[in-house]
Amino acid sequence: MVLIHGMFSNLSIYYFNIAPVLAKDFHVVMYDLKSHGMSERFTDGYDLESMSSDVLALMDVLNLKKVHLAGYSFGGLIALKTALKVPERISRLVVIEAPDPQDEKARNIIDEYSKEFLEHYVANFTDTTKVQMGKRQMEKNHRMYEFLFEKTSIKADMIREKHFLGEAGLSELDIPTLLLYGSESNCKPTGEWLKTQIIPSELELIPGDHNVPIQEPAQIAEAIVHFLSQSLTKTVTQNHG
């Protein structure tokens, strides 16, 4: 299973609480988007075509022919784009709090919650490693976010994708899809709309807002495991049918 984080965060959104649960049943692959976390810095290439190409390049390097794919926030849009490009390589799709790029308020949510993400990252780093994150590490993280906000095309590329959902042809997507959204999230209407567009999909609301992977990681992990286990059960049934 490949997990894609959102813009202005890194793979730790999954690493501390969600991935360990998934790893009990699945081989889990996480990575940092370009210019995020430990990945190399780039000044451009943050459009969905480029970002989905990055996912596919990773899959090719790791020799992953077909995977379950999950994405959070803008990572959910990357996951959708990837599934539309190569549906034959995606078994099941999980979209967590993907926003409508056309909604300016939804785009602003990413800025707002990136600050909460950083606080979560620091807290979990301390809880997990029992080591207080030093001033130098904090400064390094802040420099990374300043680079993304001020030195790259990331915001402009996101704006250019504002018509993606309406033009993507989601009704043609024939991949079982789980839509996970916060019950109080401003992005919830997007999840409800996606449910009407992707026929083999189910929408599950989790208590919280756009930041549900941080607020309710156990419920997110449980929902994903349950959804993916359906495919395992189906496969076993077919093999013994």
pLDDT one-digit tens code per residue, 77-98: 999 999 999 999 999 999 999 9
Q: What is the mean pLDDT of residues 111-138?
A: 55
Tell me what pLDDT residue 35 has.
Answer: 86
DSSP 171: G
DSSP 133: P
- Answer whether 236's CB lies under 8 Å from 204's CB: no
CATH code where residue 65 lies: 3.40.50.1820
Asked whether residue 107 carries a pLDDT value surpassing 60, the answer given is: no
Q: How confident is the model at residue 102 (pLDDT cuts 50, 70, 90)?
A: confident
Tell me what pLDDT residue 134 has.
Answer: 59
Highest-pLDDT range among 57-61, 114-118, 132-136? 57-61
Tell me what pLDDT residue 189 has.
Answer: 95
Helix axes 135-151, 104-129, angle to 10 degrees: 160
Structure tokens at 85: 């490009």
Tell me what pLDDT residue 124 has.
Answer: 56
pLDDT one-digit tens code per residue, 38-82: 888 888 999 999 999 999 999 999 999 999 999 999 999 999 999
Model pTM score: 0.85
Q: What is the mean pLDDT of residues 142-148?
A: 76
Average pLDDT of the chain to the nearest whole number: 85
Query: What is the spatial distance between Cα 187 and Cα 202, in angstroms, rounded to a whole number?
Result: 16
> How many domains, the chain?
1
pLDDT one-digit tens code per residue, 162-221: 899 998 899 999 999 999 999 999 999 999 999 999 999 999 999 999 889 999 999 999
Tell me what pLDDT residue 31 has.
Answer: 97
- 169: containing domain: 2-239
Q: What is the mean pLDDT of residues 8-16?
A: 88
Tell me what pLDDT residue 118 has.
Answer: 59
Asked whether residue 148 carries a pLDDT value surpassing 90, the answer given is: no
Q: What is the mean pLDDT of residues 26-47?
A: 91
Tell me what pLDDT residue 128 has.
Answer: 44
Query: What is the spatial distance between Cα 239 and Cα 92, in angstroms, rounded to a whole number?
Result: 19
Strand order in the sheet with 67-72: 29-30, 2-4, 67-72, 90-96, 177-182, 201-206
